Amino acid sequence: MKNNYSLAERNRIVEEYLPYVEWVIRKNRALMKAAKLEYDDVYQQLSLRLVKAVCTYDPDKGELGAHIWAQLHFELMNCKRPLRTCGMTGLPKDYRRGNIVSFESIREDSELYEQLIAA
């Protein structure tokens, strides 16, 4: 961390700049639609980036608001693939959003069950 924010102060700053997440999404809604990104996923990803931006902010290199704005735009440009959204990079290549299966429905003799146990 390049700044001396306490946890409470960091949280206050994140809450103060949280509207930036909404502004970036609103400004780039056409891009999100073209990339088939879901609002909730992008909002979560940008919110996490906001926390990182506040933690990595270096006061010697410029204004906090400009740093956050740039970080959020950068993160939005990297939300291209649904598999990457929210850190889900370890999923199988054939994963689709509709392929969600509850743990209760997986039989013990299936290959997927073996993979879950190994993980």
Each residue's pLDDT tens digit, 69-80: 999 999 988 876
Among 48, 41, 58, 40, CA closest to 18: 48
- Count of CB atoms within 10 A of residue 78's CB? 12
What pLDDT does residue 104 have?
62
Q: What residue numbers bound the domain in which 26 lies?
A: 7-88
Tell me if 63 is assigned to some domain.
yes
The answer as to whether 100 is a domain residue is no
- The structural domain count of the chain equals 1
pTM listed for this prediction:
0.64
Q: Is residue 43 in some structural domain? A: yes
Residue 96: inside a domain, yes or no?
no
pLDDT higher than threshold 70 for residue 4? yes
CATH number of the domain encompassing residue 78: 1.10.1740
